[in-house]
Amino acid sequence: MGMSPRADHFLDPEDGTLYLDGELHDAHGVDLVGVDPDGSMWWGTERATWVLEDGATTVVRVSGWMGPVRWDGFFLGAAEAAVDYAEQRRVRVDHVEEK
């Protein structure tokens, strides 16, 4: 088991691994933050969610648009907090999914 979760870090919701500053990939080798060849952007992955609330257990995927670019984010916390996080970064949210 990894370290205990704390807000504002990536965490693997399956095994509790806390991704420390400087780590670039999740458990499957996927970049924690990136851009696809088609220009789509993402923040986190299903195995490296951005922690919004200490002790949260709900994984939330938020999708939308950052200007003309498709954007997806994976979060650990309440759906409302995940939407707020995205909207504060100028994402026009069009889909929210709790897992």
Q: What is the pLDDT of residue 1?
A: 38
Q: What is the DSSP pairing of strand 49-51 with strand 41-43?
A: unpaired
- The single-letter code of the amino acid at 6 is R
Residue at 3 is within a domain: no
| Per-residue pLDDT tens digits for 30-48 | 999 999 999 999 999 999 9
Residue at 80 is within a domain: yes
To the question of pTM greater than 0.85 for the whole model, the response is yes
What domain range is 89 assigned to?
A: 10-98
Q: Is the pLDDT of residue 24 over 50?
A: yes
Can you read off the two tokens belonging to residue 87?
A: 């909207």
Mean pLDDT of 11-23: 91
Which residues, 6 or more positions from 58, have their beta carbon under 8 angstroms from its beta carbon? 76, 77, 78, 79, 98, 99
| 6-10, 23-27, 91-95: segment of lowest average pLDDT | 6-10
Q: How many domains does the chain have?
A: 1
Q: Is the distance from CB of 86 to CB of 71 less than 8 angstroms?
A: yes
Residue at 4 is within a domain: no
